[in-house]
Structure formats: C-alpha cells, structure tokens
Structure 1
Amino acid sequence: MRQHGSYKFRRITEQFEVHVFAVLITLLPCAFINGISLAVLNTAAPAIKSFINDTYEHRYGVVPPEHVATSIFVMVNSFAVWGSLPGALLVNPALQKMTRKNAVLLVHVISTISVLFMGVGAVYGQSYELLIVGRFIGGVARGSSLSLVMVVVAETTSRRKLGIFQSPYPVTLLVSSAVGAALGHNKVLGTPALWIWAVSAQELASIAYFCAYPWLPETPVYLLQTGKAEKALSTLCKLRVGGGVALELGILQKELEGRSKTGQISFLQMMREPRLRLQFLVAVYTMNTIQLAGVQAILMYSDRILYLAGVEYQQVSFATIGLYLQVFLAFGVFISLHRRLGSKKLFIIGLIITDCGYLVFVISHALQDQSSWTSYVALAAMLVVTFGFQLGPQLCMTSLPSELTTSDSRPIVAFYSGCVYWTVASITAFVFPYYVEAWQALAYVPFVILSVLITVISIFLIPETNKRTAAEIQASFSEKSKKYKSPVF
C-alpha cells in the first residue's frame, strides 16, 4: 500500500512538473524578450543619442541638427513597435503551417537575428540604420510572440487554471521591463561603450528556449487538429494531475467538430453568427484594453512623462523602475483574489483604479505651475494608474480572452487581437512623444475617456467567467447577443 501511494505521488509530481515546465518555458522567455526590448531604451536614451551623434558626425563630418538626431532616435525607439504589426500578421500562417512549438521557436530565431543587427551590426558597422533595422526585426518577434504565447499556453493548460497560468506572462514582462530599465541606466550598461550589452541581454531568454526545445510537448489541441487523437490523449495524461482526461479530450474534440481542416473558425463564420461576433469583439477589446488606455505611452516614455510632471531628473529612472516592480504587489493581490472573484471582476476593478489614478494625474499635472507639491501627487497618481493596469487589464490581458474563447475560435481571435494591439501601439509609440510635448497634461485626456468607456462597456458585455465552463460562457454570449441588439452585436 505504501509503495502504491509513493508511486501515485511520484506520478502526480511528474505530471505537475511537465505541465509547469511546458507552460513556463513557452511563456517566460518571450515575456523576458518583450520586456527588455520595451524598456531598455527608456533609460539608455542618452547613450543611444550619443551613438547617433557620433555615427552621424563620423559619416558626414558635422554634428547632426537637434531635430534630425531626435527624429532618428524616435525611429529607433518606435520601430520596435512598428515591426510588431507584421509580426502579428505572421501569427495566423504560423499557427496553420507549423507545429505550435516550432512557431514559438521561430520567434526566438527572429529575436536572435534582431540582436545581431542591433548589437554587432550597428556598433561595428557604425550604422544607426542597422540599429533601426534590428529594432524592427525585434518588433516582428514581439508582435508574433504575444498572440502565439496566448494560444499555446491556453492549449497546454486546463480551462479552470487559465487565469493562473497565463498571469506570469505580464508579470515577467513588467519585471524584465524593470531589468531593461536598470540595464539601460548610465550607472550600469547605459553608457556609450556598454549599451550594446544592454540591448543584447534579451538573447539569454532565447538561449534558454533553444536548450529546452527538445523536451517540449506539442499541445493536445494541435495534435487533435492533425488527426493524432491517441497522441493527444497521451499528452493530456502527461500534462494533467488527477482524472477527467477523457472528458477534457471529448470537450476539445466537440469544439473542433465541423470546422475547417485546421480546426479553426474563419473570420467570416465569426461575423455571421451573433454569439461568435460578440465573443470576437469582446475578446479583442479586452486584450487591447491596456493599449487603448495608454500603457504603451507609459512604459516607453515614463521617464519623460514623470519629468514633465515635475519629478526631478535624477529620480525619474528610479521612479520608472518602481512603476514596473509594482507588479509584484499587483500579482500578490491578483492571486489572492482570483479564485474568489475571477478574471472579469478583477479586470473591472483594475480599470476603476486606473480611471481614478488617471484623473488625479491629469489634474495634478495641469496644476504643477501653481504648486511644487503637485509633482508628488502626480507620481503617486501614476503609481495608482500602473497598479490598476497591472491588477486588471495587464494580468487579465491573455487569460480573460482565453477564457472567453474556445479552442476553435481562439487562434483567429488571437490573430486579430494582435493586429489591433500592435497597430495601436505603433501609432502611440510614434505620435505620443510629439503629442505630449505640445499638449502636456491634456495629452492623457483621450486615454482617460477610453478607459472610462471601456469600464462601462465591460460591466455589461463581458460574461462572468469565474467557475464557469466553456459551454456556460458561450451560452451567456448567446443571451447577451440577443439582449443588446444593435448593428454591431
């Protein structure tokens, strides 16, 4: 009896380890790459501008005019986001033509190429153009990884654990953003001689994935789509702790029934059926809430934002790192409340906190000329804004859309969500630096309006997901599509 109990415990432990390994090695390296590339130039800006000036002067024999140097730097920074849009367009072909783990492998291959351009190519070729190209290629990796990770992790873990197993992605994204901001500081690697190592640090994550790749399983959903039901059952047995494997396999098979040979719903199918149309629209906007509410502007330009709000220049980089590291507090609150409240309620609570923080920030920013203490209020308000983002829209960014969709609709939702996400991010990254200089505090008003609007819409349109099955969530979409009749829904 004792021997049998020992074997059972060892079996459960192995299943748990395989599951956690498959999820985390897919999720963490991609999040690390995205966080580093997102934030490293925020604090390394002086070193990059110095490189641009030196390269320009070496090539043309004159120091570049200020507006030229600024334009080149904005291109270097924003092209990481502009490259994300073609990366998002790569998701659907990758999901249809490649295995799931090969699709993620492609992300790391592209990221490695970008590091070679940004580091070795730019420095030894004395070319800021290669730095821009490298940032663009890195953007392709970022743009594809967001949606691919969402799909692969959702297909690897069980539905009832989606909220927990998807949440490490935004946590790692923000922690690695803090690491990137720290590496880019002029006291670390953000110097004219060492910045090459700061922008190359993301390669460590790709190396980790390359090493783990041979031991990663394919997802059960992909195996079912390719007609390998026995292999899918075997993989589920390796990934799941406890019983119900046959039942889960049956549910996945039913979701994929009657679809195309890829097992996916087409975009036209989703637009024709009211339930699927509402599911698509709600899932897409929930995944894009952090962009629509201005997170790209905060994460890429937080140093400049806080400086204009009155925070001392010597302190803004530390304040930026503090904004990122708040995610530990948000994650602790999220984990403790998620089982009781679920993703929908935490999403809305986070939005309400964000709305309140934004209003205080805009007001304090507008009044900074009238009182010196408003800079402290602005910093506190920005901490509240980022905490709200992290608790709600960011930690639910992939888990909530995953819960709202099914295995047959999730790939197409992830694809279009990624396209919208990176389109908004690209516009924000390029326009916001000029916009904030011209409008100061008023630059945030559109984000405040969108954030409040999304909060109200979410209360009515997002179905409750806590402790509900996929069938119950889809039934709720059917009811809401009949209740909220409009040309859209």
Structure 2
Amino acid sequence: MESRKHIRSFVNQTWQLRYGAPVDDATNQIIWSFIVAVLSLGAWAGAVHSGSLPVTYGRKKALLFNNVVAIVAALIMLFSRTAQSFEMILLGRFLYGYNVGLGLSVHLMYLGECSPKKLRGVMTLTGSIFIGFGKVMGQIIGIKELMGTEEMWPYLLAISGVPAVLQFVTLLFFPETPRYLYIDKGDAEGSKKALQWLWQEDNLKLELDDMQKERESTQGEKAKTVKDVLTSRCVRWQLLTLIIPCAGVQLCGINALYFYAFDIFRESGVPEDQMHYLSIGLGATELITVTLCSFLIDRAGRKKLMGYGYLLMGVTMCALTVMLSIKDLNSWVPYVNIALIFCVICIYGLGPSGVSMALPADLFLQAWRPSAYVISGTVNWLCMFLVGMLFGYIVNGLGQFCFLIFVAYTILSAAFLIYFVPETKGKTMIEIMEDFNKLNFKNRAADTEKTDVDLATQF
C-alpha cells in the first residue's frame, strides 16, 4: 500500500523532469497497471523456458542461472531512482517475473527428483510454504514503520535479490538431481553418490531399482515437447489432473477474497491506517495453514486435500455470498463475513494452494516432466493475468455475486478430483503411471477384451 503511493509519485516526478509537466492521472494509472501486470508476463516467459533449460543444462545449472537473473533484476530496481527511470522498474519487474516463472518450476522439479517417495509431498510443498512466508515478510517490511517510506522504497523493491544470492551460494555445494543423472544422463555412479549425499543412507537399492524401471520404460525416448504432452493419449488424464487444479489456484476466488476483505474490514469499523496489519494477518493465516498441509499431505493424500478442499471452499464462498447480500440487516453480519474470509483462506492453504505444486513431480515420468512444468506454469500465470485484467469488470458488473463464478469452478473441480483421479500418495512413478493408464486406455482395454471374447466364441 505504502510502496504503491511512493512509486506512483516517482513516476510523476520522473515525467515532470523529462517533459516539464506532471503526468495526467490516466497515464499514471496505465503505467502503474503495467508495472503490476508485467510480472505475470515475465513469469509466463520463465515458465516457457522451464521446459528446455533444465533438460539441456540440468536442474542445478538452470537454478543457478535463474538466481543470476534475480540478482540483475534487484540491481536494476535498486538504481532506478538514481537513474530517474521508471522504465527500469518495468524491466526489473519483468526479470523478477521471469525468475519466479522459471524458478518455481525448476525448484519444484529439483525437490521432487531429490526426495524419497515418502517425503516427496512434504518437500515439494516447501515451495508453497516459502511463497506464503515471502508474502508475509513483504507485507511486514513494507509497512511505513520499516521500509515503506519515500527513502527506502528502492531497497524494498530490490530486497528479493538477497535470497537469490543465498540460494546461488548454497546451490554450489548441492549435487545435480539423482533422477536426472540416472535417467537422462545414464550416470548410475553419479546418481548413487548424489543420493548418498542427499539422503545420508547407504541402502539405496529400492530407489535405484525404481529409477532403473523408469529408465527402461522410457529407453530411447527423448524429452517430450509440450505438443507431445497436449496430444498424447498416454498422459491425457494426467494432463487434466494437472490443468484443473493449476488453473484453480487463480480461479478459485482467492484473489477476489483478498479484494473484498478490505471493504468488509472497513464496514466492520477497522480504521484505514490499521488495514495493512489485517492484511498481514491474512497472509500469516495462509502461511500457517500451508505449513500444516505439509504435515498432512503424505498422510491424507493429494486427492482428498485437493478435492475436499475445493468442495469446502465452494460451500464457504456460497455462505459468504449470502451474508454479503444481507450485510446491512444487522451490525454483527460483517464480523461473520470476516470469519468466513479467514475460513476460506484456511481451506485454501490446507489443500489447493500447496498440493497443486506437487502435481507435475507426482504425475509425470522423467521424459514428460519438464514439459508438464511448462504447461502448469503457463496455465497458472495466464490465469493470473486474465483474472487481473478482467476481475475489476466482473466486480463492477456482479458485485458480491462474482463469487458464484468461482463457486461453480471449485465445485466442478472437486467433483472431478474426488470421483475420477487416482491417489498418488506413497506410490512409485511406475505405479502412478499404471493407475492412470487404466483411465487413459479404458476404452481400448474394453475393446481388446470384447475382441478376445468374440474370438473365443468363434473357436
């Protein structure tokens, strides 16, 4: 909130310095909107490259390169005020977006390929946990008492370069992923050494056997392209299981909820200068529940957490829509609405938010996985861009009834996940593939069985 005011003021000062007149409100709004939206475009570009870079250079080198991008972005943002250039903010935001889009996919790929199957869900969920942690930290350090000031906003924009430096340095001591070394490069000895370093165990026969089976099943296959994933029948149900929840992260209504939260807080009598503290509370709630999800994901399973999570989100948002429609009937109704907002955020953190990040590592074999991450990243960031562009018009047209659009999506997603998708908890990649093949080739199996019966009858 504070940094937005200071950046828009900087844009106005820069414009006046160049052209001798202040920027008009419409132009300032367009520049600010593009500063916000360019992050999504950069993230999409990063997601597209998340399929080729980790295949060509390996997961570790792709992450190292990605951290260099973040460090460059931080430096550009840091010196934007000195150079009197708001275009540097745009460029820095685009590079930050690229860093997020590429890094999120490759980071999850790295974790998924380094983890034992019993910890695969927990490890991939750390991505969601640290995203939630980053949101809360950004909200905290962005308050006016800390870095949300006229003097400090360039440092606030550049602070994301600090974790990039830390990750770059620490990654130098980590090995390449064992599955990449064994399955993609055929380096059995290097894979074994990486496993021993990561797991600190000597008995690795089961994991090496699993990788051997996966390598044999994809022997001679090149890494699949995005077109292969989109058109191949053998991963059709995996693709549906990936796209629906990944789109749901943006289309489940969580951004609408954050938008409406401030209006509801205001109606409840919360002072305007206290709003940012409540926004920290919302972010902290999401962080706590995503962290709790990490303890549940390998016990309850992905299917239940996502399916019933979407179902409960839909039901709670239905109740919220009703309560928003009668908010003027009684003074206690806004407080009920606040409670419902926190309920939806809790459900979102416990299920859909975290579990969706574990899906590409769970659903796809090695040859298909990089392109699966491209698709999941593309769906996520394009949906985010569309929601950002269209949501204002939807709210203006429908008011609180805009939640009903998200309710329909969450209910349909819940039905699909609960009734059609097999569980992946505690299974090897080959076992997961066999489960999905029963769906991918269901009709073909039925046709084969019918043919066998007909032939048997004839003889």
Band of TM-score, shorter chain: 0.7 to 0.9
Equivalents in 2 of 1:260, 1:314: separation in Å?
A: 62
Preserved CA contact (<8 Å) 1:255 1:408:
no
Counterpart for residue 149 of structure 2:
191
Under a length normalisation based on structure 1, what TM-score does the superposition of the two structures give? 0.82
Preserved CA contact (<8 Å) 1:353 1:384:
no
Counterpart for residue 60 of structure 1:
19
Equivalents in 1 of 2:236, 2:406: separation in Å?
A: 26
Match of 2:387 among 420, 423, 428: 428
Change (3 A) 1:43 1:390: farther
Match of 2:304 among 337, 345, 361: 345
Match of 1:128 among 75, 81, 86: 86
Equivalents in 2 of 1:80, 1:286: separation in Å?
A: 22
Counterpart for residue 230 of structure 1:
189
Residue 10 of structure 2 aligns to a residue whose secondary structure is helix
Which letter maps to 1:67?
A
1:73 equivalent to 2:32? Answer yes
Equivalents in 1 of 2:219, 2:21: separation in Å?
A: 60
Identity over aligned residues, as a percent?
Answer: 24
Match of 1:278 among 234, 237, 254: 237
Which letter maps to 1:411?
P
Match of 2:101 among 129, 139, 143: 143
Residue 49 of structure 1 aligns to a residue whose secondary structure is helix
Query: How far did 1:285 drift?
Result: 2.5
Query: How far did 1:468 drift?
Result: 3.0
Query: How far did 1:179 drift?
Result: 0.9
Equivalents in 2 of 1:135, 1:164: separation in Å?
A: 30
Change (3 A) 1:331 1:435: closer
Q: 1:265-302, CA deviations, whole angstroms, 9 ceiling, x for partnerless residues?
A: 34455456534211122123333321221345556x57
Counterpart for residue 165 of structure 2:
207
Match of 2:41 among 82, 85, 88: 82
Which letter maps to 1:116?
L
Within-5 A mapping of 1:26-105: 44-105=3-64
Preserved CA contact (<8 Å) 1:347 1:396:
yes
Residue 398 of structure 1 aligns to a residue whose secondary structure is helix
Preserved CA contact (<8 Å) 2:314 2:406:
no
My pick for the range that moved more, 192-201 or 471-480, is 471-480
Within-5 A mapping of 1:295-444: 295-296=254-255, 301=259, 312=270, 313-331=272-290, 333-444=292-403
Change (3 A) 1:364 1:308: farther
Structure 2: unaligned runs, 5 residues or longer: 445-459
Counterpart for residue 32 of structure 1:
none
Query: How far did 1:434 drift?
Result: 4.8
Q: 1:132-174, CA deviations, whole angstroms, 9 ceiling, x for partnerless residues?
A: 2211111111111121112111111112211111112111111
Match of 2:224 among 250, 265, 271: 265
Match of 1:466 among 425, 445, 454: 425
Change (3 A) 1:93 1:405: closer
Change (3 A) 1:161 1:371: same
Q: CA RMSD, aligned part only?
A: 2.7
Which letter maps to 2:165?
I
Query: How far did 1:396 drift?
Result: 0.7
Change (3 A) 1:311 1:387: farther
Change (3 A) 1:295 1:106: farther
Change (3 A) 1:194 1:269: closer
Query: How far did 1:316 drift?
Result: 2.5
Equivalents in 2 of 1:105, 1:303: separation in Å?
A: 38
Match of 2:120 among 153, 162, 171: 162
Which letter maps to 2:29?
T
Equivalents in 1 of 2:435, 2:148: separation in Å?
A: 51
Counterpart for residue 10 of structure 1:
none
Residue 83 of structure 1 aligns to a residue whose secondary structure is helix
How many equivalent residue pairs? 442
1:178 equivalent to 2:136? Answer yes
Counterpart for residue 30 of structure 1:
none
1:218 equivalent to 2:218? Answer no
Equivalents in 1 of 2:260, 2:147: separation in Å?
A: 19
Which letter maps to 1:449?
A
Equivalents in 2 of 1:231, 1:446: separation in Å?
A: 51
Residue 127 of structure 1 aligns to a residue whose secondary structure is coil
Q: 1:293-352, CA deviations, whole angstroms, 9 ceiling, x for partnerless residues?
A: 1345556x5775656776643333122211111135414542443343112211223223
Equivalents in 2 of 1:474, 1:232: separation in Å?
A: 23
